[in-house]
Structure 1
Amino acid sequence: MTVGVKETRRRNLLLLAGDKYFRYYAKRGRIVKALEKLLREAPEDPYGAEAFGAVVAQVALHALEVLRRAVIKARRDKLVYREFGVVYDRDLVGALDVARSVAARSSGLYASLTYLPSSLNAPEYLLLRKLVKRSVKTAKKLAELL
């Protein structure tokens, strides 16, 4: 075997070992303790440092997967979820829930349940976007270091 093939196999084996190590601790809810222990006892030899890098890479992949699921859920909520509000007015504006609209006053005012446009541009979506951008940037830097 050539040196390049050996290095590739060793790197793949380290990534598999890091994945198994991370999944073992993640299933038992002890991942934070395991990572703190790893960070305190970061190995100095080259093989230990590579194994440590493999575990860190798996942690980064897991974090990105959790973020991906959160983004998909948020995107679905933005498309499907609508926040209703009661509006008292003579003119009915926007989408209307007819079953819950009643004449409230004798002067011609209607109490209607209608969509609130503010829920579409909620600040939570902006915060999630910034969080995802920063996380992806950090993961790219980590990938370059490994």
Structure 2
Amino acid sequence: MADLKELKQQLVDYLSDHFSGQGVAVMGEFPPSPKPSPLLKSRIAVGFDAMAVQDAGLDDYLGEDSSQTLRGRYVQITLRFDLACPVRLGGGACQGLFEELLDALLLRRNSLGVEELTCGPVAYDKNIGGFLLCAKGRMNALISARETSLAIDEIELRRVME
């Protein structure tokens, strides 16, 4: 169970490890420093595109832990991966990055729970001075609530007869 910021960081950390030594920088969607233009090395930006809350019978109640009530939501998240490659590598390098992303997230054992990946066409992007491919993924996650509360000591069920 994590919050959204932790979940994104887990994705970035896992992909950074996977792509280490391949000359690919992996970062959150909006990196702290601007991207150089023209693009000098391949990059993968990880972000969220959409989220849907899955219905739960007791709203956001998840259970008890250490005398506290745990709250959170089961969600389905649409991920976005912007794969950018320098012109000198050609547009095919973006497709190669996507294939490596498929391997990392769908075929290798990991705890991230990504269930599906798709991609759009490769296109030249003049803003970054390189080729860009947008990939989308789908995963289910348990997102923790920002606050906890004291444990529920008792639950009273009443049956009303009419």
Superposition TM-score tier, normalisation by shorter sequence: under 0.3
Question: Could you say which structure has the higher helix fraction?
Answer: 1
More strand by share: 2
Q: TM-score, normalised by structure 2?
A: 0.21
Q: Whose RCO is larger (CA < 8 A, sep 6+)?
A: 2
Larger radius of gyration: 1
